[in-house]
Amino acid sequence: AGVTRWRRWLDWSVSRHLRQPLASLNAPLRQALRLGAFELIVEGRPPHAAVGEAVGVTRTLLHKGAAGLANAVLRKLAREVGEDRLPRPSTGDAAEDLAIEWSHPTWLVRRWLDRWGAKETKALLAFNNEVPRYTLRSNTLRVSPEQLMERLQQLGTDPEPCRWAPEAFRVVRLAPALGLVSEGACAVQDEAALLVVHALDPQPGEAVLDGAAAPGGKAIAAAERMQNQGRVVAVDVHAGKTDLIWRASQAHGATIVAPVAADLREWETDEPFDRVLLDAPCSGTGVLAKRADLRWNRTPEEMGALAVLQRDLLAAAAAHVRPGGVLVYSTCSLEPEENEGQVEAFLAGHPEFSREPVTTVPEALRTP
């Protein structure tokens, strides 16, 4: 994960000591060089260990010549690190330099610089490169937050109460808690995702629709918040994912969750819903710290296609809200055309809807 996250910076650092393009090397050698560079530059491991392991891997997987190349390149890099003279990119393009040094796509960094400036962008880039912590949501149908806290402490996970969601805890190590996840006492869910359910604020006995439900965490959290009274319809276009939602909901005792395999844009029902959630498919630029690979799998061209999909799904979701009901639109993106832009366009085309204050989310997290 670390190598994937820091790949661009590692490649730039290694490439300066190669006579040929890094891309021309075969894959095992490229990865061995990245691993060695990661341990030297990011983790600060002793040079003899970092270089020795990378060279040993290269010799085992390839041949003596490749191992010699890895040894020469990584020893030069280790010398620069040891003498604190590792150079920084200096292309003359501020976005390109930041993107290389903080290992992000240039197009994305340029967008953020234009919107937020250098200081805020650099803070975001640094956050995205931190080793993420995991959040566990207590299943309040089975255990109280206090009981989950006690059990996590007994397992040695050093749980820390989340700042904004009192039913959730952050842990550094997830493995010791996997037994609790399997038995349905808790679920892995980011605090931000949980706050979307707080914004939805479903009440016992209500009819709730989750219009793009996979993997089901928000639908199940809604059922728990409803004390398993009412109905939660979890629609997703992928049949395999709705099966996973059903199994997860059963494991948690959230028996009011009813998964439906359908495209929300084509799904028809006469049932009106008190609350409708559309957690829309998006670029995911807000979760790059958790998804190490995602930054390399997004393109500027995708933004336009995603915006069209989000617009169509939002219109489809709105058709299922009863008069007086609530519609919540959420993404895990930071981009305005996927968030504020979508809401503004929707309200302009749907005068029967109006903004509702999000009083169930802490005031510090709300904007006008």
Instruction: Give catalytic residue positions.
Output: 332
CA distance 72 to 77: 9
Q: Hunting for tokens 């997987």 — which residue is that? A: 61
Distance CA 143, CA 159 (A): 16
User: CB within 8 A of 8, min separation 6: which ones?
Assistant: 99, 100, 103, 104
Which letter does DSSP use for residue 185 in this model?
Answer: S
- List Cβ neighbours of 178 (8 Å cut-off, separation of 6 or more): none
The DSSP call for residue 275 is E
Burial class (CB in 10 A: 0-12, 13-18, 19+), 242: buried
Look at strands 168-171 and 160-161 and give their pairing.
Answer: antiparallel
Q: Tell me the angle at which helices 94-101 and 7-15 cross, rounded to the nearest 10 degrees.
A: 100
- In the chain, the N- to C-terminal Cα span, in Å, equals 37
Encode 161-180: b = buried (16+ Cβ within 10 Å), e = exposed: ebeebebbbbbeeeeebeeb
**How far is the C-alpha of 109 from the C-alpha of 288, rounded, in Å?**
13
Q: State both tokens at 30.
A: 């490229």
Q: How far apart are CA 138 and CA 82, in angstroms?
A: 46
| Cα–Cα distance measured from residue 75 to residue 220, given in angstroms and rounded to the nearest whole number | 52
What pairs with residue 168 in β-bridges? Answer: 137
Residue with tokens 């099966």: 243
User: How many angstroms separate the CA atoms of 242 and 160, rounded?
Assistant: 32
Contact between 13 and 34 under an 8 Å Cβ cutoff? The reply is no
Beta 273-279 vs 321-330: how paired, if at all? parallel
